[in-house]
A and B are shown apart, each in its own frame.
Chain A
Amino acid sequence: MSKYEVEALKDLQASKNRVMTNVVKQIEQRAIPKHSRRWQLSMFTIILTVCIGIFIYAQINNGEKLSANAVPILDEKLIDMFIQEANEKNESQDFINSNFQTLIEMDAYYAYAVSKGIKISKAAIAERQRTEREQWERSYKESTIIKDGFSKLNLTLDEFYEKYMKAFAVKSLAKSELMKEYYQKYESSFQIHAHSAVKKEAMDYFTAEYGTQIAYLKNKYNVSKTILAAKYKYGTVVAIEEDRFLVVTGALPEEIGRLSNEEIINKHTNGVWFPLFASQQKITIGQNVNITYSLQERLDQYDFVGDLEEIEISE
C-alpha cells in the first residue's frame, strides 16, 4: 500500500522552521540573566501582611463597606459558593483560579463603569435581568447539579437569583457598555483584543482601588493567577492596524509594503495579530519580536488572533 498523506501535513518545512526558531529563541531569552527581585518580594510580602491586618481589623470593627453602590462587589458569600462547589466536584486548582478571576473581573467591570460615569438605564438592567433569569430557570430545570447545589446552599432558585445573580446581571451589562465604548474607538477590533483591552483597563482600576481586599480574598482562597499553556511566536512586525499588529515568522523586510498582509501570511504560512495595548514598548513595522501568549483564535488557514502576555523586541 502506498503511503497515504494527510493534506495538511504534506509540506512541513515551514512548520519545522517555525518550531526550531521559537524553541531556540525561547531558550536564548531565558539564558539572559534577569535582575533579582528577591528584596522587592520580601518588601511586598511585608506590605501585603500589614494591609491584610488592617483590612481584617476594619472588618471586625464594622469598618466601611467595600462599596457604597447598590450592587455588592467582592462578595465573599458568592465566592464561597463557587469555590465550595468547585471543591466538591474535585475541580483542578486552575479551574478554581479561573472562576475566582472571573468573579473579580465582573466586579472590576462594574466598578470601572461606575467610575467612568457610564449610565445604564433601568429598562436595560430589567431586560438583562429578565434574560439571565430565564437562562437560570432553564439550567435549573435541566441540571441536577444546579438543583443539588441549591439544596446544599439551602437556597431556592428565587433566593439565589435575588441574592447573587441579580447583581451579576448588572455587572455583565456594565461590561457590555465598556465593550461598546471600546468599539466606538476601534470599530474593527477583534473581539479577543477588545475583550482583553477592556479587561486590563477595568482590572488596573479595580486593583488600584481595591488591591488590599483582593489580596485578602486571594489569600483566603489560596488562588493565584491562572497560568494557561504558553505559546511563543518569534517573527517580524509586518503591519499595524487600529489596535493590533501582525507578526509573521520568516517575513522579509523587502516584502513589507510590497506584498499585502494576506500575501505575506500565505507565503510564509503563518501570522498572528496581537493587541497593541499589551505592549509597553513602542511597536514599529519591521521590528523582530519574541512574544509569549496563551490564547488564539483562528481567522483563516494561516491567520490567527492572539492575546499577549510578554513581548521582547530584538535589537
Chain B
Amino acid sequence: MSTVYRVEKGGETLQVKELEEIMELHTERLIRLAYYYVKDLQEAEDIVQDVFIKFYDNQQKYEERGELKAYLSKLVINKCKDYFRSWTYRKIQVQQKIFAKQTIARRDMLVQQDEQTLIETAIFALPLKQREVLSYFYFEEMPVAEIAKLLSIPDSTVKTRLRRGRELLKPKLQHIEWEVLLHE
C-alpha cells in the first residue's frame, strides 16, 4: 500500500514516499549525531523523529542552497540544544529523582568495563562544547573545517575545543593507551 500525501502549503511539496527515501539515507547518521548530545538512544530517536516531521511540515523554508545532509544535521543539533533548555528536560530530571526508587536497576554493575567503554564514558562525561567536537572528530571522523561549518564556529575554536577536550580526558584515561592521547 503506498498512499501518497502532499503537504498543502504553497511552493514545492514533498511526498511521504520521498521523505521515506530521505529518511532511509540519513536516519542512522542523525541518530548518532543526536546521541552525542543527549546520551540516550531513545531520546535521540525521538529528536530525529521530530526533526523529520518538522522538515516535512516546514519544507517550504528549505531552499536547496546547501546540502540536505548539512541542513538536517543542523536541525538535529538545534533540536538537541533546545531539548537541554526545555522545561520538559528539567521536568524529566526532577522526575527521575522522584521516581528513582521505582526504577528497576537491572544494570549489572559488575560488568567488566573494557578500555573502549572507559574511553566512551570519559568522552560522554565531558562538557557539551568539548564533547560535541570530540564526538564529531573521533566518532564521525569529520575534518576540522567540516565541524566548524556545521557548528558555525571558526576552525580555530574547533581546534581549541579539541585540545581542551583531550586535556580533560587525560587524567581520566591515564592508565589507558589510547592512541589519540599518546600522539598529542
A residues apposed to B, CB below 8 Å: 1, 3-9, 12-13, 15-16, 18-20, 22-24, 26-28, 31, 92, 94-95, 98, 190-192, 226, 228-232, 270, 294-301, 304
Contact = CB atoms under 8 A, between A and B. Distances in A.
Contact of B35 (A4, A8, A26, A92): A8
A226 B116 contact: no
B106 interface: yes
A187 to B, nearest CB: 13
B48 interface: yes
Given A23-B23, A24-B20, A232-B49, A294 B88 contact: yes
Contacts of A304: 42
Interface stretch (B96-104, B146-154, B159-167, B168-176): B96-104
Nearest to B92: A295
B128 to A, nearest CB: 16
Contact of B87 (A13, A15, A95): A95
Contacts of A295: 91-92, 95
Contact of A229 (B83, B104, B120, B141): B83
Given A28-B3, A28-B16, A31-B5, A16 B31 contact: yes
B84 interface: no
B99 A297 contact: yes
A298 B42 contact: yes
Contacts of B96: 297
Interface string B113-138: 00011011000000000000000001
- Kindly list the 9 A-B residue pairs having the minimum CB-CB distance in the complex, ordered from nearest: A94-B87, A191-B102, A16-B27, A12-B28, A31-B5, A23-B52, A228-B88, A229-B88, A20-B23
5 contacts: A1-B180, A19-B49, A23-B49, A31-B5, A95-B87
A300 B104 contact: yes
Contact of B117 (A7, A18, A23, A232): A7
Nearest to A193: B102
Contact of A20 (B20, B32, B88): B20
Interface in B52-106: 52-53, 56, 83, 86-88, 91-92, 95-96, 98-99, 102-104, 106
Contact of B41 (A5, A15, A191): A15
Contacts of B139: 3-6, 9
A106 to B, nearest CB: 15
A9 B35 contact: yes
B86 A229 contact: yes
Interface of B: 3, 5, 16, 19-20, 23-24, 27-28, 31-32, 35, 41-42, 44-46, 48-50, 52-53, 56, 83, 86-88, 91-92, 95-96, 98-99, 102-104, 106-107, 116-117, 119-120, 138-139, 141, 179-180
A18 B141 contact: no
B31 A9 contact: yes
A299 B104 contact: yes
Nearest to B180: A1
Contacts of B52: 19, 23
Contacts of B180: 1
B99 to A, nearest CB: 5
A228 B53 CA distance: 16
Contacts of A4: 116, 119, 138-139
Nearest to A228: B88
A304 B43 CA distance: 12
A15 B44 CA distance: 9
B136 to A, nearest CB: 12
Given A12-B31, A20-B27, A26-B53, A299 B87 contact: no
A300 B102 CA distance: 12
B32 A22 contact: no
Contacts of B99: 191-192, 297
